[in-house]
Each structure stands twice: as C-alpha cells, then as structure tokens.
C-alpha cells in the first residue's frame, strides 16, 4: 500500500510523492453498516491515539478513530521500499523507555530489534567536518569527545545534572530547575564560554541541534537537561536511548499491532483521510465535524492533535487561554531527516558531524539495503533549513558534505510542510514548559488532550506517546464507568 | 487490618506474629451471591496475579482470583506500623523497569517515590566489617570500591559484559552466554583469583549474596550477569535500579491500585485464605480445588504459583517433565530480610557490609520512623542462615555486627518458612535457566504459567511479575476471543 505521505527520489524515477508503507490502512474506513453510537472519539492515529484506542476497545468501549492521513503512526512510520524499512520519523527505542518497552514485551517483539550501528567495516570512522575540512577519529575517540563536550554543557550542578533533574518522569519541573527552562542552549554556551575546545563545541552544538531540530537560541536548555536525565545522565545512555535500537521491519510493524488488536475486539470503527475541522463540546458530550462535513458524536473525546496544529482545529467553546497560548507559541523542532542509499559499501561503519556550514548536520550509516548498498540517515533543521523536494541536488550535496558518496536514492518526509504536524518531534523553546506544561496537559469536561508533546517522561518520543495514550484511555474508561454507576444509582 | 504474615518485636510487646497492612483484603471474599461462571481463574494475588486480573477484568472477562493468604502482594508487601511502611519483601523500583514504571505512570504515582538514602547526617559512612574489626569509608569511597569489585567480577569480555548479555530483555540466553549459567559465582571468583583486593573481595561477595540470598557456590554466575545487564552494566545502575527508590506509603499502596481497579469493573470475584490443593485440566477447561474442598471451574487458568511451591500443588494431568524438574530443583534464594528501628538518629546516613562472619551481611539506613528513630534494613541468607523469630537476641546481635546500635523494634517476614513462597525472590543455581527457562515459561492448553520467577527481563523483580501478568492476560484474552469467533463460525 502506498501512502500519500513522504517522498522518494532515484535518478531513474526522479522525485515521487508518496511511499509504500505497511501502516497504510485499507479499506480506509469501516464506517459503513456500523452503529453510529460511540463512547469515545479518538482524533489522531499516532501512537497516542493507537494506545488509547487499543486500551479503550479492550475495555469494551465503542470507539471511533478519526485520522487525517491515510495511515497510522503519526510522526513515526516506516516506508518499506523493496522490503527495506526507511524510518520517516520516530525510529529508535530502548528498554529504559518504559511505556514503549512494556508494549514490545507484550507483543513479544523484543527479539525484533537490531542495532543501527555496525562498527566492523570499511571506513570505520567518525568524520568531523567544518568549512575548512574533515578530521577523522575512531569511534572510541568520538565517544570521548562527545561525552566530554556534552558533560561540560549539561553539568550545571557538578553532579551531571543529577541534582537538578532528579525525577525525569515527574510532571513537575523542580523549582530549582525552572530557571533553566527560561535559558536557551545558546545562553548556556555563553555561560561556559571557553570551557569547550573547538571540536567539543562543534560536537556539543551539533548534538543539540540533532535533538532539537531548531537553533541554539530557540532550544530550551531545560529540555536538553531533561533528555539527558531520561538517558541516565550520560552520553552512552543518550546513544543507547536515542539512536541505537530500531525495529528490523520498521516502526509500522509495531504500530500495526495496536491497530490490529483494537480491531480484533470488534469495538473499533475508524475513518482515515478525514481531517477534523471543528470540535464542539457540550454538557452531554462532544461532536466532531470533519472538513468534508461529516458529524460524529460521543460521550467523550481524546484529542491527540499535536501542539503545532492544535490551533488549526476550531474548538467550540474555545480552548483555555493557557492552551491557546501554548499552541500559538508551538514547539520549535523543524528537523530535516533524509535517508540516502549510497553505492559505497565501505561507508557502513561511518558516523559524521558536518557543522556549522552544512545543511545536514549529523549523519550515521543506518543499515545495508537489499541491494547491498549503504543506508545513511542524516539530520538537519532550522539551523540551515531546506526542503529536500524543492532541490534534490542540494540534498545530495548536503550528504556529500559528510564524505564523498554516490547517492542512488533519497527517502524522506518533509515534516515542516506536513499540515498535520508542522514540525517534527516536540522540542520546546525557552519558557514554554515552565509556563505552559500544565496547560497543555489539562483536560476539559469531556475531552482529554493526550500527546507525546506534553508527556511526563519521554516527552517527544514514542514512549511519551504511549504514556499519554495509556493515560487517556484509563481516564476515559474511569469517567464512563463513573457516569454509568451514577446513572444506575439514579434509577 | 492485620495480616497473619510477618512478625514484629519490641521489648514491651515481645515477639508478635502478624503485622498490619493495607494489603489485607476485607471481607476476604465476595463469592456470595455471585454467578459462579468464570472465564478465567487466576491463582495467586502477587503482582503477577494482580496484573493479570486487572487486565483481564478490564477486557470484560469474568475472573475468579484465588489466593492462599489474607492479603495481596505475594512476595512484595508492606506492613504499616504507626503509619510507617516496613517493606517485607520486594521494595525498590526504578524507571528503567518498564512494566512497573508504566503502571506507576498510569496510576499517576511517579511523585509517590522517595529515596531510601539520605547522605546528609551523623555517621555518614560506609562501614566495612570483618571478624577483625571495622573500616570506615566515605560513600564516594564505597562507590569506588564497589564499582571496582563488581567490574572485575563481571567483566568477562573486556566490555563490562555488554558483548555477553546484549539484550537483557530477551527470553533467549545468547549461545555465547550459556556457559556462564553452568558456572557458579564461586567458579568465577576462582577464575579471577587474586585480581580482587581483600576489600574488593569482601564487597563483591557481600553484593552477590545480597542479590542471591544463597551462597557463592549455589548462585548462577549468568544470573548475576543478567542483573548487571538489566542495571545498565554499571554499579551506579545497580544502586539506582535495586535499592534506591521506594514508595513513600509502601508497596501495598501500589498493589492495592491494581486490585481496586479490577474490582471497579464489576468483573472480579475473589477468595482469600484459600490455598489450592489440586488443579485439574480437561479438554473443556480447568477445575481448581481448594484445600478446604471447594471446586471452581473456568475455561482458562493463570497460575502465578512461585517455582519453589509449584510442586506442592497437585496437577492432573501432571506438569510436564521439564516443569516438574525445574520445580524440584527450585531457586536458591533464602534471603533473611529484617528491619530494625534503632534509637541512634546519627545512623541515618550509614551503609554497611559485615562479612563473612556476621549473619546479616548488608545493611542500609532506610528511613526515619515517626518517632524520629533510624530505620535500618538488613539482609542475610543461606551463607549464614537464621530464623529471626527463633532467637530475637541473635537477630539484634547481627544488627550490632554492623555498628553499635540500640534496637527498639524488629519487623520481618520469614520467607524461608512461608509455605506459599519457600524462599524470597527468584535466584537460580547453576544450570537452571540454561536447562529449564523455556520449560518454566511454557503453557498447557488451558493454563498459562506466569510468574516473575521466569520473566524475560526483570526476572525476580516486581517488574518481571507485571511483565508476566501482562503476558498472561493478553494470552487468555486472545485465546477466549478466538474460541468465541470459532464458536460463532460454527453456528
């Protein structure tokens, strides 16, 4: 099945919109012939929506899932080209991510993971480039350099931030840490000044931009500390948690399990290709109106609409002032993630930083394609933003900014122009979390707002999405059970 | 409510059997007036059984929970004396334990944790004693010594065992690691010989015995490597995961959430004080007969009976040869865990190893009691086993083996004499896992055997129990749904 989302390019085929994915749902709806009474409407079929729908249908609720796209997964999905998965968004998982790992264990998929890295072949180097040229390091030297750079950047308390973000899974930002949310990473870099060697500075800045997809000035320093704490306060933990283990058959092979399980209950109705225009809440429940004018009603609703597009849906009555403000500020991540299939087999063990002159900043060899070529994944963002589909040659040149290579294929999803995401994973600018995290998390009488963008723990991650979906389902199941017993006691 | 389980002692009251706990369920059954048709019978109300029951009732199944004791929690429960929790068994949790953490997040209890440690007061030392006397170290020196000792012990591959136990959450023991399961820790210690300084050796051995509750000869070296891998391959990880964060109001404040949620569905029937004598399986389902002669039937059953007592229940037809063998071998953990309330406030920051001469080997100050006294928790085991209730003075003297102290209260559960546990948390002797892990995990046609003792990841831990309960519920829900659709298609 081919999604409308994503792009691929080869010399022979040129640029093509839409890539195949096992996450595309066909037929796109099972509305026909269904009873149209729902307990819950869930808007959005990313991991938050999928976890909500799975838990709620298992609990016996009649659920309607409404999704704007033709596929599940939201900002995490894999294209499957010649059977090989290219991850268009969220990719890596690790066993210190509790919500995602609980599901991996539950679906017995713990042996379906593989390492992105293979440090055994060819040019087994870390390439650190700037405008003047390239330096080559062993991966051990890379680890030492990165660890030193990041440690200096985050070590605000002389204890690797362990005394500053003590409980990274709490929804509360500790009072002593709030000031860091009003600082940008650029502020912090000015604070530590010359502590960083030029190479350390390049590595630290490239790493921050890899995390935030933004600029040093627009990235909250607290959110970086929060990532660091989640990753067990070490560079090695960051590597393990953020960019190491992925699904052998792609993210969509995982997401589809939630969908299929929900479907198997007989309690799931769904409609894809159905962007939502208006959400009306009244004393009795919620009405959802799609752009094509269909009306759906339910007692409760779960919105998993991401922060950056929440303002595009009309809420009646309007969202709270705090939520409206947060949505208007938005998050700052405009990551450009591009995959390249390259002819050079001996690049399989390469990692690279090319900064600050290059539009792709961070790259790693991510696998070997069915044709035996090397698969390189690379990241850029607001620092030097570009739209790969507008200028394929520019994108290819950005890959060459890492190392000479013969690019035979590009695969990517332009998250910045995606009207249902308007950005990649959540990363906050200064002040947003300190001022509005609780606003973003707040529910109304009948609507739970659940999204990885405001998760307690692994905010921005698949784990945070499942955390939020789990919370939403539990909240709705409880509320409806309470309604039911209240109704009974009135009889 | 007071459980029959556990003991307390004070000078004034003497030794008393039974301690108060919020995990005691009153009334002990809600069988009366219930329809006696069940989809599933769950035997055992530890975390495995609780997770099974919670998930299965939420999924709409009619569940009967049968528990031998008067309380929930199995090998993890807290007594609550003067409102203060003493943890009788499983205590500590951490956010790299995915199944337990998912539940903590789901029940919004992530802010209910506190640190056992408070390194800010009085005798802020690590006391390392042997028969000759006591050495005092700072906690930084303790960390250095412990890390060095454990690193030497586990470093079989020059990479901190990372190349040996690469995927600690897999149910498969990697072929290259199997040989370590046929080795005891004593074998490994002989292998590294003089690499350990005398202090390192004392620390390493004490730590192993803390983990296993057994002896160096009877502890599988692989299982130790597995713990190490689960703890992110570092001593700091071990501390964080194993002995750092606990529930402010005790384990039973967490366990009760599962029970209450299951009860709120209306699908849970339960009977406590109901040891099971016989389990009969036929083509159509399972019949469970209690010692007092009551018969219960259901289509499916989940046994969360621990390995060391599995042989005490009669199965008809008998358990498989592999399972029978595993149960007859059993696990080796005979931990003696004892709490003391001591008058010395200035011991609040103390940690201790007293080895090999003392019967309590490892102790830490674990809290401050409502009376302002220090709460010390200590561990012994097969190395120099004793039954505290047989000789309170001996137990008090073992505490004094750490440091002079005035013991005002003892609280403990004798797991070795507990007929429903016959030991503490699972720890395997050499060969058991390599030979029988898959046997222990195997289901029959209608019975799922689920227990932390054979979990994939955090085996022995609360996390492993919830992992197993999650698996069991999902398996039973799926099987009954399949039966139902098969039945429908026959109509």
Q: Give the helix ranges, DSSP H, for A107-184.
A: 139-154, 178-181
Determine, for residues B106 and A474 on separate chains, whether the beta-carbon distance falls below 8 Å: yes
Chain B residues with CB under 8 Å of A139 CB are none
| Low-confidence residues of chain A: pLDDT under 70 | 486-491
pLDDT at A489: 61
Interface confidence, given as ipTM, is 0.91
Pick from B110, B167, B237: CB nearest A169: B110
Give the residue from chain B lying closest to A110, CA to CA: B170
Residue pair B433/B84 in contact by the 8 Å Cβ criterion: no
* Nearest CA distance, B101 vs chain A (angstrom): 6
Residue of A52, A99, A102 to mutate when probing chain B, most B C-beta within 10 A: A102
Chain B residues with CB under 8 Å of A170 CB are 110-111
* Nearest CA distance, B455 vs chain A (angstrom): 10
pLDDT at A36: 77
User: What residues contact A103, with CB distance under 8 A and at least 6 apart?
Assistant: A51, A254, A257, A258, A466
Q: Give the helix ranges, DSSP H, for B317-385.
A: 321-329
How far is it, in rounded angstroms, from Cα B150 to Cα B361? Answer: 17
Chain B residues with CB under 8 Å of A99 CB are 98, 101-102, 105
Chain B residues with CB under 8 Å of A106 CB are 470-471, 474
How do residues B453-488 score in pLDDT, each as one tens digit?
Answer: 999 999 999 999 999 999 999 999 999 987 777 666
Residue of A101, A108, A167 to mutate when probing chain B, most B C-beta within 10 A: A101
Annotation-wise, does A67 bind a ligand? yes
How far is it, in rounded angstroms, from Cα A386 to Cα A390? Answer: 8
pLDDT at A33: 79
Chain A residues with CB under 8 Å of B101 CB are 98-99, 169
Chain B residues with CB under 8 Å of A481 CB are 264-265
pLDDT at B390: 98
Residue B128, CA atoms < 13 Å, CB-side half-sphere: 20
How do residues B150-192 score in pLDDT, each as one tens digit?
Answer: 999 999 999 999 999 999 999 889 999 999 999 999 999 999 9
Q: Compute, in degrees rounded to 10, the torsion defined by CA atoms A318, A320, A326, A329.
A: 40
Residue of B58, B59, B61, B105 to mutate when probing chain A, most A C-beta within 10 A: B105
pLDDT at A34: 73
Pick from A99, A105, A232: CB nearest B105: A99
To the nearest 5 percent, what fractions of chain A are helix, strand and coil? 35, 25, 40
How far is it, in rounded angstroms, from Cα B90 to Cα A190? Answer: 47
Give the residue from chain A lying closest to B172, CA to CA: A111
pLDDT at B353: 98
How far is it, in rounded angstroms, from Cα B451 to Cα B49? Answer: 8
Could you give the maximum distance between any two Cα atoms of chain A, in Å?
A: 80
Chain B residues with CB under 8 Å of A264 CB are 481
| Low-confidence residues of chain B: pLDDT under 70 | 486-491
Determine, for residues A470 and B106 on separate chains, whether the beta-carbon distance falls below 8 Å: yes
Residue pair B274/B67 in contact by the 8 Å Cβ criterion: yes
pLDDT at A490: 57
How do residues A290-314 score in pLDDT, each as one tens digit?
Answer: 999 999 999 999 999 999 999 999 9
How far is it, in rounded angstroms, from Cα B487 to Cα B480? Answer: 10
Percent of chain B with pLDDT over 70: 99
Residue of A52, A95, A240, A480 to mutate when probing chain B, most B C-beta within 10 A: A95
**Among B461, B376, B379, B455, CA closest to B93:** B461
How far is it, in rounded angstroms, from Cα A10 to Cα A342? Answer: 11
Residue pair B334/B211 in contact by the 8 Å Cβ criterion: no
pLDDT at B243: 97
- Residue B7's DSSP bridge partners are B17, B412
pLDDT at A393: 98
Annotation-wise, does A161 bind a ligand? no
pLDDT at A366: 97
* Nearest CA distance, A240 vs chain B (angstrom): 10
User: What residues contact A333, with CB distance under 8 A and at least 6 apart?
Assistant: A212, A213, A214, A381, A423, A424, A425, A426, A427, A460
Where is the binding site for substrate, in residues of B? 379
**Among A55, A314, A352, A139, CA closest to B106:** A55
CB environment B237-255: b (16+ within 10 A), e (fewer): bbbbbbbbbbbebbbbbbb
Give the residue from chain B lying closest to A240, CA to CA: B232
Measured CB to CB, residues of chain A less than 8 Å from chain B are 58-60, 95-102, 104-106, 108, 110-111, 113, 167-172, 232, 237, 264-265, 456-457, 467, 470-471, 474, 477-478, 481
The pairing of beta strand B268-271 with beta strand B63-66: parallel
Pick from A60, A98, A474: CB nearest B95: A98
How do residues B88-144 score in pLDDT, each as one tens digit?
Answer: 999 999 999 999 999 999 999 999 999 999 999 999 999 999 999 999 999 999 999
How far is it, in rounded angstroms, from Cα A485 to Cα B425? Answer: 40
pLDDT at A482: 79
> Omega of the bond prior to A205 within 30 degrees of 0, cis?
no
* Nearest CA distance, A418 vs chain B (angstrom): 31
How far is it, in rounded angstroms, from Cα B230 to Cα A96? Answer: 10
pLDDT at B489: 61
Chain B residues with CB under 8 Å of A456 CB are 105, 110
pLDDT at B482: 79
Q: At what angle do helices A221-230 and A235-242 cross, to 10 degrees?
A: 80
Determine, for residues A481 and B96 on separate chains, whether the beta-carbon distance falls below 8 Å: no
Tokens of B194: 């003089």
* Nearest CA distance, A289 vs chain B (angstrom): 30
Determine, for residues B96 and A95 on separate chains, whether the beta-carbon distance falls below 8 Å: yes
Residue pair B223/B433 in contact by the 8 Å Cβ criterion: yes
Q: Which helix (H) or strand (E) covers residue B473, if one does? A: helix B462-490
**Within 10 Å of residue B328's Cβ, how many Cβ atoms?**
10
């Amino acid at each position: 099945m081919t999604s409308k989302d994503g792009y691929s390019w080869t010399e022979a085929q040129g640029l093509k919109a839409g890539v195949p994915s096992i996450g595309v749902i066909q037929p796109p709806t099972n509305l026909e012939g269904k009873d149209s009474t729902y307990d819950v409407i869930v808007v959005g079929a990313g991991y938050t929506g999928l976890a909500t729908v799975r838990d709620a249908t298992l609990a016996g609720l009649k659920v309607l899932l409404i999704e704007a796209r033709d596929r599940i997964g939201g900002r995490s999905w894999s294209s499957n080209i010649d059977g090989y998965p290219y991850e268009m968004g969220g990719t890596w998982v690790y066993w210190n991510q509790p919500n995602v790992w609980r599901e991996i264990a539950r679906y017995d998929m713990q042996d379906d993971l593989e390492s992105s890295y293979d440090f055994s072949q060819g040019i087994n180097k870390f390439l650190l480039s700037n405008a003047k040229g390239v330096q080559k390091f062993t991966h051990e030297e890379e680890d030492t350099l990165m660890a030193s750079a990041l440690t200096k950047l985050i070590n605000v308390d002389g204890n690797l931030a362990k005394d500053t973000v003590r409980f990274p899974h709490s929804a509360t930002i500790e009072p002593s840490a709030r000031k860091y949310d009003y600082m940008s990473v650029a502020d912090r870099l000015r604070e530590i000044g010359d502590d960083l060697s030029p190479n350390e500075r390049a590595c630290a800045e490239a790493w921050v931009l890899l995390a935030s997809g933004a600029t040093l000035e627009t990235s909250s320093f607290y959110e970086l500390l929060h990532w660091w704490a989640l990753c067990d306060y070490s560079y090695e933990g960051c590597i393990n948690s953020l960019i190491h283990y992925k699904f052998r058959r792609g993210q969509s092979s995982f997401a589809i399990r939630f969908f299929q399980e929900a479907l198997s209950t007989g309690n799931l109705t769904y409609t894809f290709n159905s962007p939502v225009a208006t959400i009306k809440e009244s004393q009795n429940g919620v009405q959802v109106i799609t752009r094509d004018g269909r009306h759906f009603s339910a007692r409760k609703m779960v919105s998993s609409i991401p922060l950056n597009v929440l303002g595009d849906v009309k809420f009646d009555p309007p969202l709270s002032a705090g939520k409206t403000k947060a949505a208007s500020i938005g998050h700052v991540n405009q990551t450009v993630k591009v995959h390249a299939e390259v002819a050079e087999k001996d690049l399989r063990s390469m990692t690279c930083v090319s900064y600050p002159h290059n539009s792709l900043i961070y790259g790693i060899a991510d696998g070997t394609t069915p044709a035996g070529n090397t698969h390189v994944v690379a990241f850029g963002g607001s620092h030097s933003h570009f739209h790969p589909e507008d200028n394929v040659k520019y994108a290819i040149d950005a890959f060459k900014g890492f190392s000479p290579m013969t690019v035979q294929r590009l695969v990517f999803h332009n998250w910045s122009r995606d009207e249902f995401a308007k950005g990649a994973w959540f990363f906050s600018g200064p002040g947003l979390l300190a001022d509005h995290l609780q606003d973003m998390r707040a529910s109304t009488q009948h609507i739970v707002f659940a999204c990885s963008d405001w998760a307690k723990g692994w905010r921005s991650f698949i784990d945070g999405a499942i955390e939020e979906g789990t919370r939403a389902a539990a909240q709705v199941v409880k509320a409806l059970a309470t309604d039911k017993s209240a109704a009974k006691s009135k009889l």
